[in-house]
Amino acid sequence: MSRSIEMTCFQPDTLDCRVVVAIVSATMTGPNLHTQYRRAYLRHMHNRSLYDWLDTMDSDSDSDSDSSSSSSSESDAMDTSSDSSSSSSDESREAEEQEMDDDWEHRILQMAADIEALKKIQDTRYLRGRGRVVKAGQFNLLIDFALSPEDHNRFVDMVRVSPYVFASILELIEDNPIFHNNSPNPQEPVELQLAVALYRLGRYGNGASVKDVARVFGIGDGTAELYTERCMTAIESLQHLFVRQLTAEEKEVEKEWMDKQLGFRGLWREGYIMYDGTIVVIFNKPARDGTTYYTRKSNYGLNTQIGNAPSNLRILDFCHGPTGSAHDASAFKYTCAALYPSCRRA
């Protein structure tokens, strides 16, 4: 049922009252109606004491039906009565029908006003007043740490990377389209968004609270989540540049490194990728199948397999998803090396 209902539709002589009731019910209880809108509308109904007549609507219809049948029976029984009494009964019935029509007209107009109120609620962006939150971020402090070599360790404490690595990541992602929305309202500088994302990723447990992150940088709670999503999208778009197969020349370099470490040329030279599992710890036990996340280190986490080049530890392959209780041999089955053996060939 469409909610774009015009006021002109509610005319007693053109629309049956039960149709109006059905329209109002579909409008205020539809599945697409946001919970806040529905609650606001119900508050509106409560303030106008509409529950009283909605609850008595069915009983009124029943009583009207009983009254009509009773009148019909009485008229049949009084076929032999005088013309004057018959005329009086007709006038009384007409008066009752007119009163009922007036009552339904009042109810229909009241319903129309309610639907207009509902439309007004839906068109209102905020249902409550919005007070301004005092904000004072520490991003300038991070800049001061970056400019002072003696304070680089404090810079690392905040964003978990050195100023050089931070600048390198910034250079790689700052031109990503996700940071340019072609809007009259430009986004905040990419360096601020990256700092928020790295600071949040470097926190653990209740220290990673969105409210705490937002308070440190003087931004809104939702803004902290938005900055993180943007930066992760931009960083993930670079995966094909850094996580890839080695070329034939690069594979040979790794094999020669293996020969040098062993002191002879042997079968081990073909093992130019090292795989190992690491646990990504999660703060709480998951509500669903929580015991499967329990690890041998007496915490809860995910088993992540990482394959890297032995000479420089460059990551070449990874897989994630298995729970913490999964053995490395089981988790390894989901790596590219296990799923696509041809990728390992020289």
Average pLDDT, the chain: 79
Q: What is the pLDDT of residue 49?
A: 52
Q: What is the pLDDT of residue 122?
A: 74
Total of domains in the chain: 3
| Confidence category of residue 25, pLDDT binned at 50, 70, 90 | low
Same domain, 114 and 14: yes
Domain termination residue (choose one: 240, 266, 285): 240
How many degrees, rounded to 5, is the angle at CA 255 between CA 250 and CA 261? 130
Q: What is the mean pLDDT of residues 11-32?
A: 50
In a domain, 1, yes or no: no
Same domain, 214 and 110: no
The whole domain housing 20 covers: 7-123
Q: What is the pLDDT of residue 223?
A: 95
Query: Angle at which helices 57-77 and 83-123 pack, to 10 degrees?
Result: 170
Asked whether residue 274 carries a pLDDT value surpassing 60, the answer given is yes
In a domain, 2, yes or no: no
| Confidence category of residue 27, pLDDT binned at 50, 70, 90 | low
Q: What is the pLDDT of residue 104?
A: 74
Q: What is the pLDDT of residue 42?
A: 59
Domain termination residue (choose one: 70, 97, 123): 123
- Candidates 268, 260, 269, 298; CA nearest to 281 is 298
In a domain, 129, yes or no: no
Contacts of 204 (CB under 8 A, 6+ apart): 281, 283
Task: Write out pLDDT tens, residues 217-270.
Answer: 999 999 999 999 999 999 999 999 999 888 889 999 999 888 888 888 877 777
Asked whether residue 200 carries a pLDDT value surpassing 90, the answer given is yes
Same domain, 13 and 115: yes
> Which carries the bigger pLDDT value, residue 264 or residue 146?
146
The secondary structure of residue 8, as a DSSP letter, is G
Cα 234 to Cα 240: distance, rounded to the nearest angstrom: 12
Residue 337 near residue 303 (C-beta atoms within 8 A): no
Phi first, then psi: give them for residue 301, nearest 5 degrees. Answer: -175, -170
Task: Write out pLDDT tens, residues 172-191.
Answer: 999 999 999 888 888 999 99
- Candidates 13, 14, 11, 30; CA nearest to 22 is 30
In a domain, 134, yes or no: no
| Confidence category of residue 196, pLDDT binned at 50, 70, 90 | very high
Q: What is the pLDDT of residue 7?
A: 38
Asked whether residue 163 carries a pLDDT value surpassing 50, the answer given is yes
Percent of the chain scoring above 70 in pLDDT: 72
Same domain, 260 and 191: no
In a domain, 203, yes or no: yes
Same domain, 16 and 117: yes
